[in-house]
Structure 1
Amino acid sequence: MSRLEKLKQMLQETPQDSFLRYALALELVKAGETTSGLEALDSLIADDPDYVAAYFQKAQVLAEDEQTVLAREACQAGIVAAKRVGDAHAAGEMTAFLETLED
C-alpha cells in the first residue's frame, strides 16, 4: 500500500485530522497531482485557518508552478495566520519567502 493510500485510509477514520489532511496534500503534490494537492490545502485552510504550515506549503507549490501572484497572496494570508496564533518563527519564514517572490 502506498503512502498516499495509507493516508486516505487513515482519513476515513478521522476525516477532520488536520495533520493527516496536510500530509495527504503534500503526498498529492509529490505524486504530481498538484491541482488536487492545492485543493486539499485550500480545504484544510478553510476548515482550520490556524494550520499555518498549510499556507506556507500552498505558497511554495504555487511559486513552483509559476503562479507568483497567488503564491504571494497565500504567503500574506499565512503571515496573518501565524501572527494570530503567535508563531513568530513561521511568520518570519514566510516573510523571508515572500521577499523572494517576484511580481
Structure 2
Amino acid sequence: MSRIEKLEELLQENSGDAFLNHALALEYVKAGDDLKAGRLFKTLLEKNEDYVGSYYHLGKLLERGGDEAGAITVYKKGMEVAQRLGEQHAYNELKSACEYLEF
C-alpha cells in the first residue's frame, strides 16, 4: 500500500484531520499531481485557516503553475496568519517567498 493510499484510508476515518490532509497534499506534490495537491491545500485552508505550513506549499504550487499573483496572495494571507499566531519562522519563510516574486 502506497503512502497516498494509507493517508486516504486514515482520512476515511477522520476526514477533517488537518495534519493528514496536509501530509496527503504533500504526497500528491511528490507524485507530481499538483491539481489534487492544490485542491487539498485550498480545502484545508478553508477549514483550518491557522494551518500555516499549507500557505507556503500552496503558494509554491501556484508559483510553479505560473500563477504568480495567486501565489503572492496566498503568501500574504499566510504571513498575516503567521504573524497573528506568533509563528516567526513561518512568517519569515512566507515573506521571503513573497518578496522573491514581488522584486
TM value normalised by structure 2: 0.94
Q: Which residue of 2 aligns with 1:83?
A: 83
Cα displacement (A) at 1:93 = 1.0
Cα displacement (A) at 1:39 = 0.6
- What amino acid maps onto 1:61 in structure 2? L
Cα displacement (A) at 1:65 = 1.6
Q: Which residue of 1 aligns with 2:15?
A: 15
- What amino acid maps onto 2:54 in structure 1? A
- What amino acid maps onto 2:26 in structure 1? L
**How many Å separate the matches in 2 of 1:21 and 1:55?**
13
Cα displacement (A) at 1:94 = 0.7
Residue 93 (str. 1) matches residue 93 (str. 2): yes
Gaps of 5+ in 2: none
TM value normalised by structure 1: 0.94
**How many Å separate the matches in 2 of 1:90 and 1:5?**
29
Q: Which residue of 1 aligns with 2:3?
A: 3
Cα displacement (A) at 1:27 = 1.1
Alignment of structure 1 residues 1-103 onto 2, 5 Å: 1-102=1-102
Percent identity for Structure 1 against Structure 2? 37
Cα-Cα RMSD: 1.2
Gaps of 5+ in 1: none
Cα displacement (A) at 1:3 = 0.6
- What amino acid maps onto 1:19 in structure 2? F
- What amino acid maps onto 2:21 in structure 1? R
Cα displacement (A) at 1:102 = 4.5
- What amino acid maps onto 1:38 in structure 2? G
**How many Å separate the matches in 2 of 1:76 and 1:48?**
16
**How many Å separate the matches in 2 of 1:26 and 1:65?**
16
